[in-house]
Amino acid sequence: MTLLYFIIAISILVVIHEYGHFWVARRCGVHVLRFSVGFGKPLWSIRDKRGTEYSIAPIPLGGYVKMLDEREAPVPEHLLDQAFNRKPAWQRIAIASAGPIANFLFAIAAYWVLFMAGTTGVVPVVGAVSENSPAAVAGLKSGDEILAVNGDETTTWEQVSWELISYIGEDATITLTVRGDTLVEHSVNIEVTAWLAGADVPDPISGLGIEPRRLTIPAKLGQIVDGSPAQAAGLQVGDLVVAVNGEPMADWSQWVDAVRVAPNQPLQIDIRRDGQLLDLVLTPERTTLADGAVVGRVGAGVEMPIIPDDWLRVSRAGIIDGFALGVSKTSDLIGFTLESLWKMLAGDLSVKNLSGPITIAKVAGASASSGLESFVGFLALLSVSLGVLNLLPVPMLDGGHILFYLAEMLRGKPLPERLQIAAVQVGMFLMLSLMLVAFYNDISRL
């Protein structure tokens, strides 16, 4: 399913990106030879009345729009006016920039729909503050609700994280507007220096020493695997584990720990079922993890408690406000992506934050399993990243082509072919290096 959702996500964004190039190319009078989703020999194709071939290829890591161009193959004289290379530089710039712009427009539309449909988030109430952490030194306390970060309103933990993440790698004073048990608003000033600059996967909330308020998850069974030790011991869905070897179980985490440390060891467990207390003997099976650790396993899943309504905050916007929020969210993401790339170049942010297709696939699967709202939000975020990446002034990318055409407009003639070839080779080296780092990071995370 993870692979399927990855293919769906990439295919959607590739079609949107390439359709941007395709749509503008046709309006500029350029003949499009092929519109391909995926790379390689086409698995399926069809032609329209204009002679454009639409195909699906087996490698789902991108796509392309192939246009008539004298630099790639001889062009019949009667079609020269439809060749890409014969078009004015400004039209070629428009065609090259249309793909990334299409990605940004998709993100705006996706966020517009999400904001109108309503977004749900968890109210940002502090559960605990780590001792001697920046938040603790500043005076933040358990039970405080974070109302704003440096004056920007935060109604959910997602918004708090979004506001904080821009300060990673910086020396700054982060001012939190909070409301405690007394319902009186006050400010908490948190001083940070080179904040999380070396972190492989920086978490801005825990990086301040803040732990969000969390539900206590009781040791109640919501799933029993067939043929598992749990089933053999007589455990049933709905059972509440009260004690193990006489030690009371406060929550699910404690129950998991008790099982993991006892491979092949009989455990005396007390459970509550339909109001009655029962004693059972459970022997966890021995399991070896990928890192070589040996733990116990019983084959039982948790029954997740329902989150209280007052822990959640639902926001809905009208048509006009929703569109404005979509534009604002997309522009913020564009700025954040560019800022993050600059911080990586400056050494203020670790390059281990770069992700490749493996991480994208995992996030695609996780977001899809969380629901349509989460998956659409992921598509919008990935679409913005794809648009920004393609606009970077690197040969091979759309931004590199735009740079060549701008230089041509200034010089009055194209750049020397030898210079363009050398630039493309440098661009290819940079992109391959970036891909290798991303793949390495993906494998390291596995």
DSSP state of 309: G
Q: Pick from 172, 118, 121, 120: which is nearest to 146 by CA?
A: 121
DSSP code per residue over 8-64: HHHHHHHHHHHHHHHHHHHHTTPPEEEEEEEESS-SEEEE-TTS-EEEE-SEEEEEE
Active site residue 373: no
Q: Is 286 helix (H, G, I), strand (E, B) or coil?
A: strand
How far is 210 from 176, CA to CA, in rounded Å?
A: 12
From the list 18, 145, 247, 285, the catalytic residue is 18
Q: How far apart are CA 297 and CA 262, in angstroms?
A: 9
Q: Find out whether 123 and 178 touch, Cβ atoms under 8 Å.
A: no
| C-beta separation of 379 from 111 below 8 A | no
**CA count, 13 A, side-chain hemisphere, 1:** 7
State which amino acid sits at residue 348. Answer: D
Nearest to 328 by CA among 102, 104, 97: 104
Active site residues: 18
